[in-house]
Amino acid sequence: MTTPGNIEAECGQRKADKHRGWLRYSLRMSQFAGRSVAVVEDEATIREAVCTALSREGYAAEAFGDGMSAWEAFVRGKPDVVILDIGLPKLDGLEVCRRLRGLSDTIAIIFLTSREDEFDRVLGLEIGADDYLCKPFSMRELMARVKVLLRRASVAAGESASSDERPLTIGSLALDPLRLAATWKGAAVPLTVTEFLLLQSLARRPGIVKTREQLMEDTYPDRVSVTDRTIDSHVKRIRRKFESIDRMFNALESVYGAGYRYTGPSD
C-alpha cells in the first residue's frame, strides 16, 4: 500500500537517492505536463483529491460535479483525458462516454466505478472507455494509468515506442505495456500498474533471478519506498490472479535468499 505515511517512512539507503529519484520523476512527468485532464465526479472529496494529484503531476485539471456541465464543456473544448464517474447527476457517466466517443476517438477515458454502479466491464469497454478503476482506488494507480494513456496516445499519434513499451510474448504470457494488459493463454488477467510492472520486469528476463531491490526499482519508477514484504505480497497477488485462470500456473518462482524469477517456456 502506498500511503503518505509510508512515503515518509523511507529507509536509510533509499533516502540518499531521494533527490536524484525525485528529479528523475519530475523529468518523467514533465513529458506530459500541461495536458488537460477533466475529472467528472459528484463526490467532492474524491473530485478534489484527484484534481490535487493531477495538478501535482503538472496537468491542467478541470473539475465537474455532474455529467451535463462536463458534456457542455467538452463540446466547447476537448480534454486529453477524462476521468469519469459512472453514477452522476443529470447525465450519467456511461452516456457522457457514449457522447464523447461520438465527438472523438482519441480522448482517453477512464471510468471510476463503485460497487453500487454494478459496472459491467465489457459494456464499459464496448462503449469506448479505455480503462476503469474501482473505488476505493489508489491515487498512484490512477496517476500511473493517466500517464500510460497519454503515452499510448503519443505512440498512436506516431511517436515511436521504446523497447520497454513493445508488446512481449513468452510462451503463454503476453504483455502489452501501452495497454497495461496481460493475458495468459489468451485470457485477460486484470493487473494493477504495480503488478504489471513487476511481472514485466521478471518476464523480460526469463530464467534470470531478480532481487527484491531490483524489482523495487522497476516497479516503483516514482521511487516510493517500499519494503521487501511489499514485493512479496505483490508476487503473491499476481500468482493468485494467474492461478484463478490456470490452476497449474507456476511461472513465478521464488528463489530462496535471492529473489524471484520468471521461468520461461524453455526452462
Which of 58, 65, 87, 264 forms a contact with Ca ion (CB under 5 A)?
A: 87
Is the peptide bond prior to 136 cis by the omega test (within 30 degrees of 0)?
yes
Cell numbers standing for residue 241: 490472479
Which of 10, 42, 141, 165 forms a contact with Ca ion (CB under 5 A)?
A: 42
Q: By C-beta, is 58 or 87 nearer to Ca ion?
A: 87
Q: What minimum distance in Å lies between the beta carbon of 77 and Ca ion?
A: 24
Cell numbers standing for residue 51: 484534481
Which of 57, 85, 131, 195 forms a contact with Ca ion (CB under 5 A)?
A: 85
Q: By C-beta, is 85 or 195 nearer to Ca ion?
A: 85
Q: By C-beta, is 66 or 176 nearer to Ca ion?
A: 66
Q: What minimum distance in Å lies between the beta carbon of 48 and Ca ion?
A: 14
| Closest residue to Ca ion in the complex (CB) | 87
Closest CA to 142 of 90, 192, 80, 87: 192
Q: By C-beta, is 42 or 243 nearer to Ca ion?
A: 42
Rounded-to-integer distance, Cα 90 and Cα 67, Å: 6
Cell numbers standing for residue 242: 494467474
Sequence-ordered strand ranges (E) for the chain: 36-40, 60-64, 81-85, 108-113, 131-134, 168-170, 173-176, 181-184, 187-189, 252-255, 259-262
Contact between 117 and Ca ion (CB under 5 A)? no
Binding site for Ca ion (CB under 5 A): 42, 85, 87
